[in-house]
A and B are shown apart, each in its own frame.
Chain A
Amino acid sequence: MARLQEAAVKQIEEICDRYCDEKTPLMMILSDIQNEYGYIPLEVQEIVSAKTGISVAEIYGVVTFYSFFSLTPKGKYVIGCCLGTACYVKGAQKVIDRFSELLGIRPGETTEDGLFTLDALRCIGACGIAPAVSINGKVYPKVETGQVEGIIESYRKEASA
């Protein structure tokens, strides 16, 4: 527990307090923490456990059940490649493979410089523009493998600017 800074502990406790009147506050607490910090490591789960009385194992179970929650820090840019049925049929596997090849990481992993995380998503509801890629909320329609290098470069440029 000592591994967390006091300010962080305080903020996590404050997030827990937001939902103290809720009957089942766990999902809301974890969502806020995920949004705030980008991940929910075990040390943070221990604080949530102490505040809510829910066991660490149960919290860990929830965090590992939902793909929205992450145990490790995500990159500055989270590249979500949709692999839903429509996107898959339209060649999404090739697109994600190209991202994987150029970034040197597998889906679910983050680049060493902390810039990119590659995620495989299951249908983001943009089937009309398949295959779709979503990067920090911005959606790229009908992505072809030839575009992938350019997309990555644009974010590298943005980051170094």
Chain B
Amino acid sequence: MALINIKIEGLPYQVEEGLTILEAAKKCGYDIPSLCAYNHGECNQGSCRVCLVEATGARGLVASCVYPVAEGMEITISSPTATAARRHSVELLLSNHNQNCQQCDKNGKCELLHVANITGARENVFGGVHSETHLDEIAPGLVRDTSKCILCGRCIERCKNAHGLGILGYENRGFNVFVSPAQDRSFAESPCIQCGQCVNVCPTGALMEHSEIDRIDEAFAAGKVVIAQAAPAVRAALGEEFGYRIGTPVTGKMIAAMRRLGFKRVYDVNFGADLTIMEEGTELLGRIKNNGVLPMITSCSPGWINYAEYNYADLLPHLSSCKSPHQMQGAIIKSYWAEQNGIKPEDIFVVSVMPCTAKKYERQREQMKVNGNWDVDAVITTRELARMIKRSGIMFDRLPDEDWDQDIMGDYSGAAVIFGVTGGVMEAALRTVYYKLTGKESDPIEFKAVRGHEAGIREASVDVNGTTINVAIASGMKSAKVLLDEIKEGKSKYHFIEIMGCPGGCINGGGQPYVREFFLPNEDDDIVDTYKEKRAQALYSEDERQTLRQSHNNPQIKELYDKFLGEPNSHKAHELLHTTYAGRERFPAK
């Protein structure tokens, strides 16, 4: 790329041609106040007008996020005209914004509040009426509150980019515009998969997870036996909420914190993941042997399950009948664990800590019950766990490293840990399938061809004792659609497909900590591009540290089958650990 000469604040710089003023300035050491902490093609409409600067050759002030640099351009960021204009832009945004910042869960992570601070926005400059508020608190996973929306459109773009879905759009005109699923429907009454990717990019508190912290408080108050279980991806990101660099695993401190929050037991969902591999691996081998429906597709991701039920009802027989790991583990807690500990299942309250908002929906599916008791009673996100830790005054960085509770479901394999990243379930399954077919462990243990940390499709062929198993992995529904259409057209060559709802898998789930440059001053400039890889690395390194690497070698899993479940896919296993799916109407009549 050719270099061109520009001046910023009167000083000469050489920058690449084709950059926007905002990008070029960043490279020269100027962070122009903007709402672009997470742009990358999402938004980039130049509509918020927060990043106005003066530039020679342009008429009036320009939005630096969309205006390209040109040879000889002189840019002024600090002039009274430019600073006043940026402040005005923010004040205009605030004039139609619900400023209940004290009650807002986004406080501390709010980009609007951040630019209001740094541009020096004054209180209530423009007054006047606010546009009508549209509030959706019906959906189990997500809450939409348009009183906090600044109409930037990032959520709309993210939904399209990640999933090709476009659930959200602008509705109406002028002052009455708001962002919503069609017909101002709830997320629950539209084909939204409740993955929460829109929440991850929302600059304000307009889109949030549907918090269930209150439910947990009530369970404690009612004297329930409250048990917590945490998904693998949580440990790879929770530290970010407490100032750790992205990619720092905080497993030990997380367990210590959860114990101090009063949970009677703190378990790793990895035990459930190992159990999933036993069930799913057996199901796959059964389908291959008995000419069953192939390819078989994983069923761990509730976002993906939602997508399949809304869009590919005819392909549902391809889905593994396995419940997701935390639902399986919840079912075991409410049955075997309850029995062993002499506690009534109805007195137990299981809390899952998940990187996911769709899990909040999943736990409320009718089939997710054992003898009338929910497998899981509340699901909180990584962010909500951080909130609980903070409000309890626990100084996270001073906690000792503690270990999971070891009774009945304490052991877990490295295979389970990597469930949290795209390709992980596939690799874990392959390790066990290889053993089941050959009677010996794979060497090397890893199946690196299936690994990744971004959206898109990866494929591999694994030769096991002369049997070739073709596998494919997709994350994000845009990628998944390609594989699904192949199946529909009868052209799929795969035996086994892993699909995860969020691009990159659970490490990038809709319940994970927000990644914004402005409150991550110690991270690299390219952190919004590299955070997924860093979180994935945290999980792969934990896998490598484990001596137990395969699900089928987990001694407590063996014990569970010996003492309680019998064989994988046994009648009892089916009753507790498997589920069914059904097509759903995309826009049900209201």
Contacts and interface: CB of A to CB of B under 8 A. Distances in A.
Chain A partners chain B: yes
Contacts of B160: 55
B166 A58 contact: yes
6 contacts: A1-B585, A42-B183, A55-B160, A55-B165, A57-B169, A60-B171
Given A42-B182, A42-B183, A57 B168 contact: yes
A61 B178 CA distance: 10
A57 B587 contact: no
Lowest 7 A-B CB distances belong to which pairs?
A55-B166, A57-B169, A60-B182, A61-B169, A56-B182, A61-B170, A57-B182
Contacts of A117: none
A55 B171 contact: no
Interface string A52-88: 0011111111001100000000000000000000000
A46 B173 contact: no
A71 B160 CA distance: 24
Contacts of B190: 56
Contacts of A42: 182-183, 587
A56 B587 contact: yes
Interface in B172-210: 172-173, 180-183, 190
Contact of A60 (B173, B183, B585): B183
Contacts of B2: none
A130 to B, nearest CB: 24
User: What is the interface residue range for chain B against chain A?
Assistant: 20 to 34
B173 A65 contact: yes
Nearest to A71: B183
A64 B173 contact: yes
A42 B587 CA distance: 9
Nearest to B173: A65
B173 A57 contact: no
B436 interface: no
A45 B173 contact: no
B185 to A, nearest CB: 9
B172 A65 contact: yes
A30 B586 CA distance: 21
A26 to B, nearest CB: 12
Interface of A: 1, 3, 42-43, 45-46, 54-61, 64-65
Contacts of B156: 57
B173 A55 contact: no
B370 interface: no
A57 B589 contact: no
Contacts of B170: 61, 65
A86 B169 CA distance: 35
B167 interface: yes
Contact of A46 (B168, B171, B587): B587
Nearest to B166: A55
Contacts, number: 45
Nearest to A53: B164
A61 B183 contact: no
B587 A58 contact: no
Interface in B273-290: none
A57 B172 contact: no
A55 B587 CA distance: 13
Interface centre among B160, B181, B183 (most CB of A within 10 A): B183
Interface of B: 156, 160, 165-173, 180-183, 190, 585-587, 589
Nearest to B180: A57
A125 to B, nearest CB: 21
Contacts of A59: 182
B169 A58 contact: yes
Contacts of B587: 42-43, 46, 56
Contacts of B589: 3
Nearest to B174: A65
B181 A57 contact: yes
A45 B182 CA distance: 10
Contacts of A57: 156, 166-169, 171, 180-182
B586 A55 contact: no
A16 to B, nearest CB: 17
A61 B165 CA distance: 15
Nearest to B181: A57
A61 B167 contact: no
Contact of B169 (A43, A46, A60): A60
B450 to A, nearest CB: 30
A42 B170 CA distance: 15
A127 to B, nearest CB: 23
B172 A55 contact: no
A58 B7 CA distance: 41
Contacts of B172: 64-65
Contacts of B167: 55, 57
Contacts of A56: 166, 182, 190, 586-587
Contacts of B182: 42, 45, 56-57, 59-60
B312 to A, nearest CB: 14
Contacts of B165: 55
B466 to A, nearest CB: 43
Pick the most buried of A3, A45, A55, A58: most chain B CB atoms within 10 A of its CB: A55
Contacts of B169: 55, 57-58, 60-61
Nearest to B171: A64
Nearest to B160: A55
Nearest to A66: B173
A58 B170 CA distance: 7
A3 B169 CA distance: 24
A46 B586 contact: yes
Contacts of A65: 170, 172-173
A58 B182 CA distance: 8
A5 to B, nearest CB: 16
Q: Give the one of B169, B172, B586 with max A CB within 10 A.
A: B169
A88 B381 CA distance: 55
Contacts of B585: 1
Nearest to A67: B173
A41 to B, nearest CB: 10
B542 to A, nearest CB: 39
Greatest chain B CB density within 10 A among A1, A46, A54, A57 is at A57
B439 to A, nearest CB: 49
A24 to B, nearest CB: 16
B20 to A, nearest CB: 25
A85 B169 CA distance: 32
Nearest to A57: B169
A98 B174 CA distance: 27
Contacts of B168: 57
B156 to A, nearest CB: 8
Contacts of B183: 42, 60
A72 to B, nearest CB: 12
B113 to A, nearest CB: 28
Given A42-B183, A54-B166, A56-B190, 20 more contacts: A1-B585, A3-B589, A42-B182, A46-B587, A56-B166, A56-B182, A56-B587, A57-B156, A57-B168, A57-B169, A57-B171, A57-B181, A57-B182, A61-B169, A61-B170, A64-B171, A64-B172, A64-B173, A65-B170, A65-B173
